Amino acid sequence: MSTHGHDVGAVPAGGAGTQETHDELRDRSLPDLVKQLADQTTTLIHKEIDLAKAEMTQKGKDAGKVAGMFAGAAIVGLMAIGALTAFLILVLATFLPGWLAALIVTVVLGAIAGVLALRAKKQAQEIKPVPEQTIETVKEDVEWAKTQNRFAKK
């Protein structure tokens, strides 16, 4: 079953979502059947476009979250470099216990940056920039159209 709510092989009449029997279809004129097919095709195309838009909007939001994580990792990484700089200054200027505090801060900030970067990388790998659901439903729609073509030829 497609996410559009139609079975492959089902024939919605006039876009209303009802089904007609094969006999009812045989009794209709060819121009009526062609008009119905054109209407259904137009509706189907519009629904596929809407689905692709919704799917790509969600993927864009996911990519935005990942970008935020990378930005957070970069900021914390810069803070780690600043702390490392303070550490080096303290070590060179004096050999007082202050350098130990600077080293601890550097290690902690570096660890945070590493965790953020790894989480962002993992989420970035999970995002696929392809509207997978739309592709699947288009395949189903093609199969549905093929079955309709077979019925029209009978």
The domain ranges of the chain are: 12-153
Helix (H) or strand (E) holding 13: strand 12-13
pLDDT score at 115:
94
Report yes or no: 51 and 134 within 8 Å, Cβ to Cβ.
Answer: yes
pLDDT score at 8:
42
Q: Identify the segments of the chain with pLDDT beneath 70.
A: 1-20, 88-89, 91-93, 95-97, 99, 101, 105, 149-154
Report yes or no: 55 and 15 within 8 Å, Cβ to Cβ.
Answer: no
Is the full-model pTM beyond 0.75? no
Q: Read off the pLDDT of residues 92-104 as tens digits, 9 standing for 90 and up.
A: 667 656 767 677 7
